[in-house]
Structure 1
């Protein structure tokens, strides 16, 4: 029962009274005594401990309350008031039912059963969290190509949720869910094996961010998320191919595309770097010119010597007047589409066997070389042609801006001519003949693009 703050606590309530007493006879080692509740029911006396303790000097016996000197006195007194109110409510119920108060009933009244609160976990879609992840990366200054990869990852996951009707939550993402997602990407969306492998790599980065930076409980072991990369054809152009491109008669709108491709073949620049070239990247060096720039992807500085053929391409478009950019580079997708036409005009029709994994099956097909021509072909061409002409791998690494020499050595593995030359020289003592790569060493830089 509730009691007035300025009156003794002992008060009748329909033949029931409650009282709080300090049991000074049960003092502990710290000098504290337990506080007991005593309830009187028309001659019946029931007593139980409240769980509170204090020193005798901290207890007001007349008011049956804790003194102000007791730490937490206000909360402790409120606790006693609540005990009294619970006993009063219980007694009212017992009396209305015609029952008799018991010790078990009193203890039950003072320790009411608290209904379990069912916490419904809030599930969050991976797609929503991925947007948050991308914005965090943007704030940290990550490059645009990384942000585009995160966006593509979000698009694939969103398509899965929409098509399968299953919400993907990082806190419930397990291996079974992962297998369903991979099956969807590989067979429903017909994504290539390396595209799926890139998806898995990006997903692992995202889930690690959820776990380590957002404190989410991600059940799956990231090392078990498998996505195998397959070796793909890294096509580079031969000296004959380059000569055919430079002399091909092209429509005016394809000439610019061809020139940009050749410029990248002579410098090894990626599309993203040649697209952003400005006059400020040109510098004089020992009577010639060099390009100095910070690459977009690895953000490393490179210095590239401009051969006569590369310089001629820059000079051709410098004649257009004041330009913000050095070369007229089109959007990458548009350029790749036009490059197929350029290759067809140049007669790059030699068959190339293309091996792909489609829906889990190895599929081999023969396609003309021009169908595989892209802006990135130029970078492979520069690497392979440089190695064929004797450029040391360490120098090639610096020119291409590779952080690790192992990346550069990949090109050495695909230079088939270089392997055959070395083996023939070692086994047969052959030093090269007319028409060999050595006698054509100057061709790549000697030819100049022919205007349409």
Structure 2
């Protein structure tokens, strides 16, 4: 019965990570009739990554209250072993949900009381036509146990716009006609482009990528209502150009000490961690989702020409089936960051990371003007904003590809370092600098002029 305790990759505001239990039991293999079962659940304990002994699965003595927390882990491990052994002796299969109930009876009782208190949805009146708002309410009830509160409210903007466009609109209005067109959808998109008002700015007209996200949500709701969605085509999705940082800008970001906070603030440590994680990402290039799953064992030391070179080796997960092994050597700055956190980078949530990056970049003086292009229908809108407003987590991946190419690395090696399936994707991430591009253009014409000169 393998039992393992591990730290979750999502830290709290104070940098502590929850400790989870991973237990497996049963048999596995081609000749086994029983399938192996697995339970992963929170233990209720947490600690700082630097105070966690991953080999022993225990909290180090440097953590306050480590003794009581370790005793709780020992008890949880013993309870799991006793429950599994008792089920095996009785010859009764033990399901993961049953084991979790045995380990956490109070939580199971609370969940049962909560489930009993939920009122069933009222029966639909067949004489009243179903509306999109009603479909959204049914979708929320069906997804409440699977989605976060933010995920449950994602289609709310779409429903609000639909009600403003045509109150009480029914899902059947989005069925295609004999020609395969959906006139109501065309009218709704025209309304979003020409009449919809943005609540914050008061601007009339919605950006194309926002309309594209609405169409995606509309397909999701209609699919839940068992209605065909093949005729809903998205012609509004636009590719958003991202600006890569220069090496000097990355180093300026790294050199900045984000400690200009109010006295007594607890945000200084988390901002330092955000700074380090972002710079590490710029110098190594993994996806944000893979960055949060890196482990100390992912670092290998390889000898190249008699010199030990740290190499980060991990399996890139984009989807369940799309897995690709990625290997990239670490720059001295990236290696120093890795050692500082002992291979357990304090990666926060995506939203926290993006907000922190912008705050630090602004304080570090990354104010280079950047042109941002957005579309509203067929209209092309340009605006010039400071660089820090455009930086996000994914900027680091663009930055890594661009810096590697500017440093002389070939594009095939860069493709393998970032785990792209095709080289065209890597070319998309590669951003040329305007000054270099203009200089190269003029140099090419000068070379032609000299060649043709008598």
TM, length-normalised to structure 2: 0.54
In the alignment, the residues of structure 2 paired with residue 337 and residue 429 of structure 1 have an alpha-carbon distance, to the nearest angstrom, of: 47
What is the CA deviation profile of residues 359-382 of structure 1, one whole-angstrom value per residue up to 9, with x for unaligned ones? 875433222111222222111111
Deviation at 1:350, TM superposition (A): 1.8
Closer, same or farther in 2 for the Cα pair 1:185/1:259, shift >3 Å? Answer: farther
The DSSP-based 3-state class of the residue aligned with 1:222 is: coil
Closer, same or farther in 2 for the Cα pair 1:150/1:347, shift >3 Å? Answer: closer
Residue aligning to 2:231: 222
Residue aligning to 1:237: 245
Could you tell me whether the CA contact under 8 Å between 1:264 and 1:379 is conserved in 2? yes
Number of residues of Structure 1 aligned to a counterpart in Structure 2? 291
Deviation at 1:154, TM superposition (A): 3.4
Pairing partner for 1:276 from 276, 286, 293: 293
The DSSP-based 3-state class of the residue aligned with 2:366 is: coil
Structure 2's unaligned 5+ residue stretches are: 1-125, 177-181, 199-204, 260-267, 449-454
Closer, same or farther in 2 for the Cα pair 1:263/1:173, shift >3 Å? Answer: same
In the alignment, the residues of structure 1 paired with residue 247 and residue 174 of structure 2 have an alpha-carbon distance, to the nearest angstrom, of: 55
Pairing partner for 1:367 from 385, 404, 411: 385
Closer, same or farther in 2 for the Cα pair 1:409/1:201, shift >3 Å? Answer: farther
1:306 paired to 2:313: no
Residue aligning to 1:194: 209
Could you tell me whether the CA contact under 8 Å between 1:267 and 1:382 is conserved in 2? yes
What is the CA deviation profile of residues 78-112 of structure 1, one whole-angstrom value per residue up to 9, with x for unaligned ones? xxxxxxxxxxxxxxxxxxxxxxxxxxxxxxxxxxx
* Pairs within 5 Å for 1:153-232: 154-161=155-162, 163=164, 164-169=166-171, 172-174=174-176, 175-183=182-190, 186=193, 187-189=196-198, 191-201=206-216, 203=218, 216=227, 218=228, 222=231, 225-232=233-240
In the alignment, the residues of structure 2 paired with residue 328 and residue 281 of structure 1 have an alpha-carbon distance, to the nearest angstrom, of: 16
Closer, same or farther in 2 for the Cα pair 1:196/1:330, shift >3 Å? Answer: same
Deviation at 1:196, TM superposition (A): 2.0
In the alignment, the residues of structure 2 paired with residue 377 and residue 167 of structure 1 have an alpha-carbon distance, to the nearest angstrom, of: 40
Deviation at 1:159, TM superposition (A): 3.0
Larger radius of gyration: 1
Residue aligning to 2:412: 394
In the alignment, the residues of structure 2 paired with residue 395 and residue 255 of structure 1 have an alpha-carbon distance, to the nearest angstrom, of: 31
Deviation at 1:291, TM superposition (A): 2.4
Aligned Cα root-mean-square deviation (Å): 3.8
Deviation at 1:311, TM superposition (A): 0.9
Once the two structures are overlaid, the 10-residue window that deviates more, 290-299 or 255-264, is: 290-299
In the alignment, the residues of structure 2 paired with residue 237 and residue 152 of structure 1 have an alpha-carbon distance, to the nearest angstrom, of: 34
Closer, same or farther in 2 for the Cα pair 1:250/1:226, shift >3 Å? Answer: closer
Residue aligning to 1:288: 309
Deviation at 1:241, TM superposition (A): 0.8
In the alignment, the residues of structure 1 paired with residue 241 and residue 357 of structure 2 have an alpha-carbon distance, to the nearest angstrom, of: 18
Deviation at 1:153, TM superposition (A): 5.9
Residue aligning to 2:351: 333
Deviation at 1:185, TM superposition (A): 5.0
In the alignment, the residues of structure 2 paired with residue 429 and residue 400 of structure 1 have an alpha-carbon distance, to the nearest angstrom, of: 35
Could you tell me whether the CA contact under 8 Å between 2:284 and 2:400 is conserved in 1? yes
* Pairs within 5 Å for 1:63-82: none
Residue aligning to 1:352: 370
Once the two structures are overlaid, the 10-residue window that deviates more, 334-343 or 406-415, is: 406-415
In the alignment, the residues of structure 2 paired with residue 294 and residue 134 of structure 1 have an alpha-carbon distance, to the nearest angstrom, of: 31
Deviation at 1:120, TM superposition (A): 6.6
Residue aligning to 1:316: 340
Residue aligning to 1:73: none
Deviation at 1:169, TM superposition (A): 1.4
In the alignment, the residues of structure 2 paired with residue 277 and residue 331 of structure 1 have an alpha-carbon distance, to the nearest angstrom, of: 15
Closer, same or farther in 2 for the Cα pair 1:327/1:412, shift >3 Å? Answer: closer
Residue aligning to 1:110: none
Could you tell me whether the CA contact under 8 Å between 2:207 and 2:375 is conserved in 1? yes
The DSSP-based 3-state class of the residue aligned with 2:341 is: helix
Could you tell me whether the CA contact under 8 Å between 1:292 and 1:303 is conserved in 2? yes
What is the CA deviation profile of residues 275-323 of structure 1, one whole-angstrom value per residue up to 9, with x for unaligned ones? 23222333333333322333343442222222221110011122xxxxx
Once the two structures are overlaid, the 10-residue window that deviates more, 335-344 or 121-130, is: 121-130
Could you tell me whether the CA contact under 8 Å between 2:299 and 2:311 is conserved in 1? yes
The DSSP-based 3-state class of the residue aligned with 2:212 is: helix
In the alignment, the residues of structure 2 paired with residue 237 and residue 157 of structure 1 have an alpha-carbon distance, to the nearest angstrom, of: 35
Could you tell me whether the CA contact under 8 Å between 2:242 and 2:390 is conserved in 1? no
Could you tell me whether the CA contact under 8 Å between 2:139 and 2:224 is conserved in 1? no
In the alignment, the residues of structure 2 paired with residue 347 and residue 241 of structure 1 have an alpha-carbon distance, to the nearest angstrom, of: 9
Closer, same or farther in 2 for the Cα pair 1:281/1:180, shift >3 Å? Answer: farther
